[in-house]
A = this chain, B = another copy of it.
Amino acid sequence: MRRLAILAENAFSWQTAKTATGVIRYGNDLVVAVIDSTQAGKDVAQALQLSYGAGIPIVHDIYAALDYQPDALMIGIAPTRGELPEVWRGVLLAAIDAGLDIISGLHTFLSDDVELSSAAARRGVTLWDVRRPPDKKLVARYLPHRPGSHTILTVGSDCVAGKMTSALELNLAAQRHGINSGFLATGQTGIMISGNGLPADRIISDFLAGLVEELVLDFTNQYDWVFVEGQGALNHPGYSPVTLGLLHGSMPDAMIFSHRANATTLSSYENCPILPLKRLIEMNEAVVSWPNPQRQARVVGISLITAGMNDQEAQDVIKQVEDETGLPTTDTFRFGADMLIDALLTHFAA
């Protein structure tokens, strides 16, 4: 177990630092400090106004973080385009100087940066670029999965709709039910949490479905249920190719749909209204059957993000979505994923 400091300068919230919050909640490593000068003095639970992270200090800078003896510095936010903000260079160099490994999910690879990589080499520390894709050229072959295995993909209405969290909560709940299940990470945070997976958004378009397929076949040989972390959304004008590559690469047997409750437009795209959930669900179901109508998958349940609501408000919006869609609905983060596991068990038994 590593001791991690997490860099989330000026951005430590569940909306803007999903890598940080995901690793704190689900990772195997011990988080010893979070760096965000705008919230220094609080602890993680206070800053997030959530029930986890009590006692993990938020500190002013890397030097303050070193007091908590971290082994590694993790970059805990994912800026658009995934570039390294130039102001962070000094922070990373200070961390390297102090003997910390660096863990990064940025699109810009730290190990390709001459200054950072030579500093790391001098100090004998590792730069782990989580988003570096496998150097492999593999076109999907549309192979069947191991009979008896079940692949469940999380899809959704937008980015930051809870696809990773749902997949993680579903996997934990399935394991509590005694099911031999695994979580297949497809994004930098999921990879940091689980220690393996595929940075789907970073893969060359031609090989995306092929590399996903290869890993899914590997997971379905090991596990009875495989929860594949979804990415983006079919209706997202920027990230839809990633979503489709995951759908056709993983060829799910069932899907869980994620949605930020009451969202009406795509985040950062005011000219893209979020369509009715029933329509979005139909889209995802249709897409699975495109290569061959005999291979079908249904959306079996819905997980909402209800952050910021009280329990009664959350239950009201859940009820409303259940009425609208006819599907079992919950907030897996707030209420757990047991009801969705029940829905999947019923679905696979039918």
Q: Which residues of A contact B (CB under 8 A)?
A: 80-83, 107, 137-142, 200-206, 208-210, 234-242, 244-245, 248, 251, 266, 269, 271-273, 275, 283, 286, 290-293
Contacts and interface: CB of A to CB of B under 8 A. Distances in A.
A291 B204 contact: no
Given A80-B139, A244-B241, A236 B269 contact: no
Given A139-B238, A142-B271, A234-B290, A204 B206 contact: no
A9 to B, nearest CB: 21
A272 B142 contact: yes
B235 A240 contact: no
Contact of A239 (B202, B203, B206, B286): B206
Name the residue among A210, A234, A248 with the largest chain B CB count within 10 angstroms.
Answer: A248
Contacts of A273: 292-293
Contact of A209 (B82, B209, B240): B240
Nearest to A275: B293
Contact of A205 (B140, B205, B266, B290): B205
A293 B276 CA distance: 11
Contacts of A208: 205, 241
A142 B201 CA distance: 18
A271 B292 contact: yes
Contacts of A210: 238
B205 A200 contact: yes
Nearest to A83: B137
A272 B83 CA distance: 39
Given A203-B205, A237-B291, 5 more contacts: A107-B137, A142-B272, A202-B205, A205-B208, A234-B290
B205 A201 contact: yes
Contacts of A82: 137, 206
Nearest to A212: B241
B237 A140 contact: yes
A272 B245 CA distance: 17
A240 B290 contact: yes
A209 B283 CA distance: 19
Contacts of A237: 140-142, 209, 248, 251, 291
Name the residue among A203, A209, A269 with the largest chain B CB count within 10 angstroms.
Answer: A209
Nearest to A144: B271
Given A82-B137, A139-B80, A283 B290 contact: yes
A225 to B, nearest CB: 22
B242 A241 contact: yes
A255 B275 CA distance: 24
Contacts of A234: 290
B81 A138 contact: yes
Contacts of A138: 81
A239 B249 CA distance: 10
A275 B290 CA distance: 8
Nearest to A290: B235
27 contacts: A82-B206, A141-B238, A142-B237, A142-B271, A201-B206, A202-B204, A202-B205, A203-B205, A204-B204, A204-B205, A205-B205, A205-B241, A205-B242, A206-B242, A208-B241, A209-B240, A209-B241, A234-B290, A236-B291, A237-B251, A237-B291, A238-B248, A240-B245, A240-B290, A266-B291, A272-B291, A275-B293
